[in-house]
Amino acid sequence: MEIEDENNFKLRPMKCELNYLSRSDGSAILAQGETVVLVSVNGPLDIKSTSQSIEKATLEVLFCTKGGKPSVADRFKENIIRQTCETAILGCLYPRTGISLTIQELEDFGGLLTCTVNCACLALLNSGIAMRHMVAAVCCAVSEEGNLVLEPSYTQVQSASALLYFVFDSRERNLVTGFTEGSFSENTYEEALARCRLASDVVFDFYRDIVKQYSDVI
């Protein structure tokens, strides 16, 4: 099923399965179009005293690429995901403990980072860890002609003159995380932000449908 936001901008189809892994506290596998990511959550766990925080849980994120060998770009993804998830998790409820997110890239046909953030949120929901809010990531590409494309394909990403990534919270749709690649005008940025904010509603609705589906089973 293809998804559209309020302005009829098409998003790639989303499919998800929770409890995908039996030996984790929470897990999710998410497909956005042909891009597929698997995330497992373990914690809160006892960790070494040198890694403990007396104020909140310590969040560790491990990003595993399909090729297996990590790169500088992978470490950048880990940092983005960790900072984003830290805003959502009520870590103050789990001081001196650790929460581990393990992310496995299965297929990358564009939108890998947005798929990863969304899958991480679903895995955290599945784990039962207390959260302030959910987060939804949406990507927007600026084509060579200057047109905006929501959730671009791999080919569209390769030919784009700029890429803009936004992550919103589920309460007020405030911007949690945002970063860009390439050059663009201020007006283009504002329009992309507005479109992605609208599109995030569709992602949050998808989360609710998935959680409801599994809660009905339980």
What pLDDT is attached to residue 135? Answer: 98
What pLDDT is attached to residue 51? Answer: 85
What pLDDT is attached to residue 2? Answer: 44
**Average pLDDT of span 143-164:** 92
CATH value of 3-217 in 3.30.230.70, 1.10.10.10, 3.90.245.10, 3.40.50.970: 3.30.230.70
The helix (H) or strand (E) run that includes residue 115 is: helix 112-127
Confidence class for position 171, pLDDT limits 50, 70, 90: very high
Cα–chain center distance at 107: 15
What pLDDT is attached to residue 6? Answer: 45
**Contact, 150 vs 10, CB < 8 A?**
yes
% the chain with pLDDT above 90: 78
Query: Above 50 in pLDDT, residue 5?
Result: no
Q: Tens digits of per-residue pLDDT, 89-137? A: 999 999 999 999 999 999 999 899 999 999 999 999 999 999 999 999 9
Domain borders along the chain are 3-217
What pLDDT is attached to residue 11? Answer: 84
Q: Tens digits of per-residue pLDDT, 197-208? A: 999 999 999 999
**Quick one: tokens of 4?**
């559209």
Query: Above 70 in pLDDT, residue 8?
Result: no
- Secondary structure (DSSP) of 152-185: --HHHHHH-SEEEEEEEETTT--EEEEEEEE---
User: Of 110, 81, 100, 123, nearest to 207 (Cα)?
Assistant: 123
Cis peptide before 152 (omega within 30 of 0): no
